[in-house]
């Protein structure tokens, strides 16, 4: 395995770990907004939810509590976009090619789509997305930016509730 391949795999691993930390902080913030000091209650309410459902719940709770609604809505929108790439990174089929010393990683999504058009329905199968190492670094940076927003929010809500 080349250094570039090892770096690619380490970036995917880092995205996975950092996003998991972000999901945990979202559940923690939900628990604070529910105003439950019982960690089991929080887990019972959120453990079977995906990130999408927990983000929606977080927005509703912040509106109900009138706590940082704008920040939490912005966080929701940002994380929801990151969620799409994270799922692609984790569940996609990866290949690579090198051209002019530049490594490109290709993620294939095997999925059938039907698009209705003027002349009938067209069937599409498989989508391909190209990524450079810089794209993974940018994704990690955005996840960390979200973590840097949510951690102080948790502290703030702990002091308000």
Residue 161 has pLDDT above 70, yes or no: no
Residue 23 lies in a domain: yes
Q: Indicate the number of domains in the chain.
A: 1
Nearest to 20 by CA among 82, 107, 70, 77: 82
Residue range(s) defining the domain that contains residue 8: 3-91+134-160
Query: How far is Cα of residue 29 from the mean position of the Cα atoms in its chain?
Result: 16
Residue 147 lies in a domain: yes
Strand, helix or coil at 127? strand
pLDDT band at 139 (very low <50, low <70, confident <90, very high): very high
Query: Could you tell me the pTM of the whole model?
Result: 0.83
Residue 87 lies in a domain: yes
pLDDT digits (tens, 9 = 90+) for 53-63: 999 999 999 99
pLDDT digits (tens, 9 = 90+) for 61-79: 999 999 888 999 999 999 9
pLDDT of 64 reads 93
Residue 107 lies in a domain: no
Phi and psi based region of residue 33 (left: phi greater than 0; alpha: psi -120 to 50; beta: remaining): alpha
CB 25 within 8 A of CB 42: no
* Separation of alpha carbons 58 and 61, rounded Å: 5
């Amino acid at each position: 395995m080349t250094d570039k391949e090892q770096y690619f795999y380490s970036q995917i691993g880092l995205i996975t770990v950092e996003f998991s930390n972000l999901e945990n902080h979202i559940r923690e913030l939900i628990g604070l907004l529910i105003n439950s000091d019982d960690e089991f209650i929080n887990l019972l309410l959120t453990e079977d939810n995906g990130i999408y459902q927990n983000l929606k719940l977080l927005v509703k709770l912040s509106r109900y509590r009138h706590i940082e609604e704008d920040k939490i809505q912005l966080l929701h929108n940002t994380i929801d976009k990151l969620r799409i790439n994270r799922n692609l990174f984790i569940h996609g089929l990866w290949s690579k090619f090198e051209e002019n010393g530049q490594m490109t990683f290709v993620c294939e999504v095997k999925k059938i789509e039907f698009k209705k058009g003027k002349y009938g329905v067209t069937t599409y199968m498989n989508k391909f997305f190209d990524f450079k190492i810089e794209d993974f670094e940018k994704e990690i940076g955005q996840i960390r930016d979200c973590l840097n927003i949510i951690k102080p929010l948790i502290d703030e809500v702990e002091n308000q509730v």
